[in-house]
Amino acid sequence: MQRDQLRFGEMAARGGNAGTAGAGGRGTGKSNYFSGRDEGDARSKQTKREGGRGGAAFDAQTWLLLLVNGLFAAANALSGTFVNVYLWKAKNDFALIGWFAFAHQITMALTFWLAGKWVKEHNKMNSLRLGVAVAALFYLIVLLLQQQAVHYVWLLGGVLGLSSGFFWLAFNVVYFEVTSPHNRDRFNGWAGLIGSGVGMIAPWISGWVITRMPGTSGYRLIFAVSLGIFVIGVVVSFFLRKRKVSGTYEWMYGYRTLAKPGSPWKPVFVALIAQGVREGVFGFLIGLMVYIATKNEMKIGNFSLITSAVGLVSFYVVGRWLKPAYRKICMLVGVAMMIAVILPFFWQVSYATLLMFGIGVALFMPLYTIPMTSSVFDIIGRDQDSAEHRVEYVVLRELGLNFGRMLGTIAFIIVVSWSTAPQVINWLLLGIGSSPLIAWLFMRNRLVPLQSGKFR
């Protein structure tokens, strides 16, 4: 199971998927979504004068948004890869797991595009709540189907895609609005920190419960707890204020943006596709590989505990200390190391080499995801016209990521349908795992934000 919360050394800063932006429309004299943001900018300047690090302080709504994100991440981390293991135990079929992921990804992409109108013109908070509620429905369906779930992977993947689409579209737009350019990297760091924290504890608890209960009863209990957490998430989300809406949703705005000569989104879109290629496969395969190598769910929990602990520290350090001027070199270092940690698989695929991989990715992933995410949202907020089309740009961003995920997953399905020999899988992992290098090549000249005075 994936989405922008990739576990086991794959945790993105939202991910993967989160971003912030926002911009203070100072000096425009206009009342728009930037209204009320000047206070945050003033706080940021005061923080800098006092020698503080990390930019502007978060207000209550920002912390509440992080809490909702944390609950969503916790529920998914609790069950996460165990859904894939549950399906694998019913039928040892890599292609089946791939089709489950593909159904998730294609439904998510369509949901982003179609729900964009609702989010821009109506109540975006209801979209976020619906995403959490549909996630609860997903686990309810799994509980009802039990062992028959393996015959309904397209249904399950579709429901999960609806959940991800509704939740992350609204989340990214709201999070664009409640944050400022001064705390963008810091927010991403906190999102990753919280994700890594729940990624440490939740899967370990799941593994412990599953291995100590007979048959599949442990799975059912964990899925039921996830359902309960999602319900709590819906309740908490009602404390988020309704956001102001304006403008009309333009269905083909993303296409026109890409077709425009000299558009900065052309290379960015390619970079997003490259980012998605890796996410689409590694998000579901690594945890499954741990189970196949160990035949023990508790090992998955231990794996997650260790790698997420490393990720927690790494996200904290990078989110707190990374400056925009260092994004280019930091992202390159992160990409290079994320590729390098795949190489031990050519020697042996075992719990030890998987753990080396997981720790390495957890350590260096923030250097890749935080600059990538922040920079894309910087471009969304580069001027007032761009910011007013933030919903369309968030949709465009997510479509790029999901096109990449689908490409990666289709490549995975084609390869495993031909051969599942270890060396074949290893070369597949290396090829797919190297796609972030393409993302860096297309983003390298867009990682440093514009000077102050622009709508960021």
456 residues of the chain, pLDDT tens digit each: 334 434 333 433 333 343 333 333 333 333 333 333 444 444 444 444 433 444 457 778 888 888 988 999 899 888 887 999 999 998 999 999 999 999 999 999 999 999 998 888 888 888 989 999 999 999 999 999 988 999 999 999 999 999 999 999 888 888 777 776 677 667 877 887 788 788 889 999 999 999 999 888 999 999 999 999 998 988 888 888 777 777 788 889 889 999 998 888 999 999 999 999 999 999 999 999 999 999 999 999 999 999 988 988 898 888 888 888 889 999 999 999 999 999 999 999 999 999 999 999 999 999 999 899 888 888 887 777 777 888 899 899 999 999 999 999 999 999 999 999 999 999 999 999 999 999 999 998 887 655 433 433
* Residue 337: predicted pLDDT: 97
Are residues 317 and 193 in contact, defined by beta-carbon separation less than 8 angstroms? no
Up-side HSE of residue 90: CA atoms within 13 Å toward CB? 18
With CA atoms as reference, report the closest residue to 366 among 325, 389, 401, 333. 333
Are residues 10 and 361 in contact, defined by beta-carbon separation less than 8 angstroms? yes
* Residue 277 identity: V
* Residue 450: predicted pLDDT: 52
Are residues 162 and 114 in contact, defined by beta-carbon separation less than 8 angstroms? no
Q: How far apart are CA 341 and CA 311, in angstroms?
A: 15
Q: Which residues make beta-bridge pairs with 452?
A: 454
Q: How far apart are CA 24 and CA 381, in angstroms?
A: 9
DSSP letter, residue 190: H
Q: Which residue has the tokens 């465009």?
A: 396
* Residue 311: predicted pLDDT: 86
* Residue 130 identity: L
Beta strands in 294-428 (DSSP E): none
